[in-house]
Chains A and B, each alone.
Chain A
Amino acid sequence: MGFSTSAGFAIIMVGLFISMSFIAGELNRGLNNVNLAIKKQEERKYEIENTDFNILSVNAWNTTLTEYDMEIILENTGSVTLESSKFTVMVDGVVVDFSYNSTYFYPLDNLRLTLTNLTGSEGSGHRLKLVSENGVEKYAEFIVT
């Protein structure tokens, strides 16, 4: 009777130990992954809060009667380094291709974006929108000269 009870108790304890090890292992892995994701989210928030840039100048000039080229100068007034290729440039709401003079846009540095063969005649007004990789947006209006 006494031995049977001890044996039964031992078997249940072994089962309980195995179960707890499952839970502990999974909880540990899950919490680590969630912690990592939260850390990345905090980094993203920090980057958004510290990202800022100004449109210093927009120059657009006709190359033909119906087409123009454009040069945009930006100044990074935030404290986050941005990737130039991940900017989005929209002219009159349409995304357009652009080239840039520097791969990275460092704090207090200037970035020159060049756009070519856009449609518009001399004297026409347009809206420009720029979006950085983390979603910070700036608008400007310009006239083709």
Chain B
Amino acid sequence: MGFGESGVHIIFFIATIIVASSVSAVLVTTVQKVSLSLKVQGENLEDKIATDFEIVNDPLNIPVNTSTSPPEYTFYIKNTGSKSILLSESTITVLIDGTAVSSSNMRLNPEGNLKPGYLGEVYIKTSLTSGDHTIYIILENGISDSLRFSI
């Protein structure tokens, strides 16, 4: 009888430990995932706050190379933020009059990081009619700038 009662206590104790450990393990794992998400979100927010750029072309004089077909227009972007901007065809989106420019019709200089305060070039091959147009350049983190220009 005495042994039976002790046995029940031991079984109950072991069961409690197992349940409590499981709850703790689930809690720690879940919170670890949440803290990882917080870290990623914090980094994204930090990245957005530190990134800024401007399209600095003279809107009445957009350089164009007419020896290519279609003509190649040059747009200058200046990094006015406090961190480097990654320039790559796969991370930059360019819209001209609302239409996306495919990466095969885009060249970048430099390919890679554009340091704060420095000027980069975006070459776009497209056919534009005479008149007013708008270009939008959107970076990988969603920071964008636009320029209304005339051809």
The chain A residues found within 8 Å of chain B, CB to CB, are 1, 3-5, 7-12, 14-16, 18-20, 22-23, 25-27, 29-31, 33-34, 36-38, 40-41, 44, 48, 83, 86, 88, 90, 92-95, 127, 129, 131, 133-135, 137, 139
Q: Within 8 Å of chain A (Cβ to Cβ): is B72?
A: no
A85 to B30, CA, bound (A): 51
- What are the residues of chain A within 8 A of B28 when measuring CB–CB? 15, 18-19, 22
Residues of chain B in range 35-76 having any CB-CB distance to chain A below 8 Å: 35-36, 38-39, 41-43, 45-46, 49-50, 52, 54, 56-58, 60-63, 74, 76
Interface of chain A, main secondary structure: helix
A34 to B44, CA, bound (A): 9
Number of contacts between A and B (CB, 8 Å)?
A: 137
A25 to B34, CA, bound (A): 12
Segment from B77-85, B97-105, B125-133, B134-142 that makes contact with A = B77-85
- What are the residues of chain A within 8 A of B34 when measuring CB–CB? 23
Q: Within 8 Å of chain A (Cβ to Cβ): is B119?
A: yes
Q: Within 8 Å of chain A (Cβ to Cβ): is B1?
A: no
Instruction: Establish whether residues B61 and A93, one from each chain, have CB atoms under 8 Å apart when the complex forms.
Output: yes
Q: Given known contacts A27-B38, A135-B78, is B17 in contact with A7 (CB within 8 Å)?
A: yes
Output the nearest chain B residue to A36 by Cβ-Cβ distance: B46
Q: Given known contacts A8-B19, A93-B60, is B39 in contact with A41 (CB within 8 Å)?
A: no
Per-residue CB contact flags for chain B residues 1-39 toward chain A (1 = under 8 Å, else 0) read 000000001001101110111011101101110111011
Q: Given known contacts A19-B28, A31-B42, is B54 in contact with A135 (CB within 8 Å)?
A: yes
Q: Distance in Å from the Cβ of A117 to the closest Cβ of chain B?
A: 17
Q: Given known contacts A23-B35, A86-B118, A93-B57, is B27 in contact with A3 (CB within 8 Å)?
A: no
Q: List 22 A-B contacts (CB under 8 A).
A: A1-B9, A4-B13, A4-B16, A7-B16, A11-B17, A12-B20, A15-B25, A15-B28, A22-B35, A30-B38, A30-B42, A33-B46, A34-B45, A34-B49, A36-B46, A40-B50, A86-B118, A88-B76, A93-B57, A127-B58, A131-B78, A133-B80
